[in-house]
Amino acid sequence: MTRRAIWWIRRDFRLDDNPALVRAVQANALLPVYIHSDAEEGAWPLGGAQRWWLARSLTAFASSLENVGSRLTILQGEAAKTLVDLARQFDVDEVVWNRRFEPAALAQERRVEAALDALQISWKAFCGNHLFDPEEVATKEGRPYQVYTPFARNVRARPAPAQPKPAPKTLPSVDGAPNGVALESLQLEPRIDWAAGFREQWIPGEGAALVRLRKFTSGALADYPTGRDQPSIDGSSLLSPHLAFGEIGIRRVWHTALQSKISSPTSTDKFLAELLWRDFATHVLYHFPSTDLKPLRAEYARFPWRNDREALRAWQRGQTGYPLVDAGMRQLWATGWMHNRVRMVVASFLVKHLLLPWQEGAKWFWDTLVDADLASNSLGWQWAAGSGADAAPYFRIFNPTSQAEKFDADAAYIRRWVPELARVPNQLVHAPFDAPPLALRAAGITLGLDYPHAIVEHTKARERALAALTAVGKKGATA
């Protein structure tokens, strides 16, 4: 007797370590389906950088399926209706998928479940892209966590994440599977080719993700606690976009790091803590679904944000006059990615120095990051603003100059992304606004002409930010 299944592929473009696929291959006729539906992404349809990545990820994944005797069907439309139509057409016994936990994706999933239940079609959903299901982690009182440390303590006390299951060597096919739509019809590619830097930096797809993991765990992982904070070196894993698109399994990453032969327990543990931070972000968004656009801490709803489009534009373009901030924003525009240390600095600069709403930063990152993940993006920006989860009770104001001096001492990162400052000596390059004009001219720089004046002065911006914090009833401190 033929048992037919649909594998509904969402953000899990991989064959390795895929719980939904492990279930799906129990059928002897399998239809892998990707359904593109911008309308069901709610307030957060894919940004431009994500669309660029998705086009290449789908291409790579379709090739992987062909290599194991299957074929990817790409469709457009409302997921529940599309899956019901397919289930009827192919007399399907079961539909399987890996869950997403963003608010709009959860609503989509509930519609799918209801539609399948109405037809009495079996379905099974898995937590395939996170280490721990956010529904299953709670405080002793049964409430969701809002602070990372006790969350991490809770999940670390649990049994270790399951060992990843390897990719199947073959997949059962379905006779007469629909052709679907051409990838080009999704119009994912930019009309103007702004992605040259993306192509130089990234190779989307499962194969590239696994190569990246092996390179990291046999190299940079050994120095991860310090290397991850230096933006001029390749000290981080660079796995975030592959994880965001499900091109690599989180359990595969976890266990490969644990098995690294060159890493110390301290280095490995620090990296695993970052993987748990990703789970924590999902936990927070799942339980507080409005935090993508609204502050978790209610008092921040009355924060006196400014409306300054000119300052926002200067920040977006990397023209603030603060070299580390500008380097980060230019790296983001050129490559679709920004070093994590610099992300914290540029985020702090927007919300603290400029007093511009964190939602503006979240929207800009969403459109420009190839690794944009709604949970991590929301948590990160609310952390920077002081309005969200985690144990950050004080108003933190990063000094972009001292951050640059500490983490980019020789200005290699700054000089790469702000090349007009290449000839400025180390003792001046981190704060050109404080440099003698003659010294800058000797390096080919006239402020306001070759490089912008600082759009705000740090001490005054700090005082203004602390005053704004007082307005919402908080005490301030710097970090």
Q: Which of 78, 113, 189, 274 is catalytic?
A: 274
Dihedral angle over CA of 116, 120, 121, 124, nearest 10? 80
Contact 274/131 with Cβ under 8 angstroms? no
Is residue 333 part of the annotated active site? The answer reads: no
Q: How many CB atoms lie within 10 A of CB 229?
A: 19
Is residue 381 part of the annotated active site? The answer reads: yes
Contact 204/189 with Cβ under 8 angstroms? no
Q: Which of 41, 78, 340, 405 is catalytic?
A: 340
Is residue 8 part of the annotated active site? The answer reads: no
Q: Which of 113, 305, 405, 420 is catalytic?
A: 305
CA angle 434, 439, 445 (to 5 degrees): 85
Q: How many CB atoms lie within 10 A of CB 352?
A: 27
Q: Which of 358, 366, 383, 417 is catalytic?
A: 358
Q: Compute the distance between CA of residue 102 and CA of residue 327 in angstroms, rounded to an integer.
A: 31
Q: Please, what sign has the CA dihedral across residues 220, 221, 223, 226? A: positive
Q: Which of 41, 154, 277, 420 is catalytic?
A: 277
Six token digits for residue 179: 């052709």
Dihedral angle over CA of 298, 304, 306, 307, nearest 10? 60
Is residue 123 part of the annotated active site? The answer reads: no
Q: Which of 381, 383, 399, 417 is catalytic?
A: 381
Is residue 340 part of the annotated active site? The answer reads: yes
Contact 66/171 with Cβ under 8 angstroms? no
Is residue 337 part of the annotated active site? The answer reads: no
Which residues are identified as catalytic?
A: 274, 277, 305, 340, 358, 381
